[in-house]
Chains A and B, each alone.
Chain A
Amino acid sequence: MYAFDLIRPRTLAEAVAALAEDGAQPVSGGQTLIPTLKARLAQPERLVSLWNIPELRGICEDDAGRLCIGAATTHAAVAAGVADRFPALAQLAGGIGDPAVRSRGTLGGSVANNDPAACYPAAVLATGATVVTDRRQIAADDWFQGMFATALEEREIVTEVRFPVPARAAYVKFVQPASRFAMVGVFVAQFADGVRVAVTGAAEDGVFRWTDAEDRLSDRFDATVLEGMAPPADGMIGDIHATPAYRAHLVGVMTRRAVAAA
């Protein structure tokens, strides 16, 4: 590993100040960033650890009934902490990576990184969640801006994600058998005013909403209304694991399974 300075703030204010220094970058659980640093795909001079900042952790509800989850809350803590209030989100968090990764990996890290095969972006987009940073609030539809791209600015820190809790929801993923990342993952969320469907793992531009399926499911929330449907293969990822056409097909299958499971 190359040499860098590690700063360990204990408050959000200290973290914001530390990030103002030249060459500084935040690290949350490090489950993506540390391997990235080892491979020297990123070489910040200064890492600001968000791990020991109590105000970035924890789960609560706001007056609107939304689940507000601190950005540094680990996947394991979310899996255990929302099982009764939002089981689909608990199941998603409990299926990320493996147990050791879930002990360290965080919601905020996943949402800020926006890996095209990450699970959390599907839940954030499908619920129409709000991403909160140290300076503003951003709707999920505006947050995700393509593979590894988000509305997050330099030196800005994700502090919390606020999830509206759907009446019914489920997340189903088809894992790439070696990496166990989502080859296709679909989060379906039914609210009083309609259904939202978000797909991860499949597209070159990262997580996206499958609006054709949303329209049909909003009329009738039943897997049969999607029989034979799949999004266009155009823009889907093609690699040694799956062709674009196969990924598009899987989106249809996983969406129907998610509706049936919700």
Chain B
Amino acid sequence: MQVSMTVNGQTVAAEIEGRTLLVELLREGLRLTGTHVGCDTSQCGACTVHVDGLPVKACTMLAAEAEGCSVTTIEGMANADGTLSPLQQAFNDHHGLQCGFCTPGMVMSGAALLAVNPKPTETEVRHWLEGNLCRCTGYHNIVKAIMAASGQQVGETV
């Protein structure tokens, strides 16, 4: 079947199967391999992307259901000049990653939080990240990075 959508601001059209997952279209069809597949069972959140602004696990959404939607992946998060966005820079500054596998999902999830809650408490950040697993950092520096991107420090608003 034919599907068309906007991905990172560009209109794309593709011929897919009914069973094609959104993450398969992104990675294999469009070669946007920044979106990772960790568990493939919708638990780890490494595949988190935005669909019409909302965080979605791209391994658990059929690509055909994104018809007409606006999809944003980690490749669409940098500034227009290619420099890191404030949230990405905060992950860098606060060592919010080690192996980096979960990072695209963490950034997309964090960005989705800040879009609806620009000044979250640390508790809100930690709850929001329940669907994003990291096996390296112990989450602490990820939380710090998201708080920093919101203009706050950890410990200010618990």
**Which parts of A1-53 form the interface with B (CB within 8 Å)?**
1-6, 8, 27, 30-31, 34-35, 38, 47, 49, 51-52
Known: A1-B19, A4-B18. A100 touches B45 (CB 8 A): yes
| A99 contact set on B, CB distance < 8 A | 55, 109, 112-113, 128, 130-131
| 14 A-B pairs whose Cβ atoms sit less than 8 Å apart in the complex | A1-B19, A8-B64, A8-B67, A34-B42, A34-B60, A35-B41, A35-B42, A100-B45, A100-B56, A100-B57, A100-B109, A101-B131, A103-B56, A104-B56
A97 to B48, CA, bound (A): 14
Q: Are B19 and A98 in contact (CB under 8 A)?
A: no
Residue of chain B at shortest CB distance from A103: B54
Q: Are B42 and A49 in contact (CB under 8 A)?
A: no
**Which parts of A104-123 form the interface with B (CB within 8 Å)?**
104
Chain B: minimal CB distance from A45 (Å): 10
Interface of B is mostly: mixed
| B40 contact set on A, CB distance < 8 A | 38
| B45 contact set on A, CB distance < 8 A | 98, 100
A132 interfacial contact with B, CB 8 Å: no
Chain A: minimal CB distance from B65 (Å): 5
B51 interfacial contact with A, CB 8 Å: yes
| Contact flags A43-74 to B (C-beta < 8 A → 1, else 0) | 00001010110000000000000000000000
Chain B: minimal CB distance from A29 (Å): 9
Kindly list the 4 A-B residue pairs having the minimum CB-CB distance in the complex, ordered from nearest: A98-B131, A6-B18, A103-B54, A100-B55
Give the contact-size bracket for chain A: 20 to 34
Q: Are B18 and A51 in contact (CB under 8 A)?
A: no
A155 to B130, CA, bound (A): 35
Chain B: minimal CB distance from A56 (Å): 14
Chain A: minimal CB distance from B117 (Å): 11
| A47 contact set on B, CB distance < 8 A | 18, 62
A180 interfacial contact with B, CB 8 Å: yes
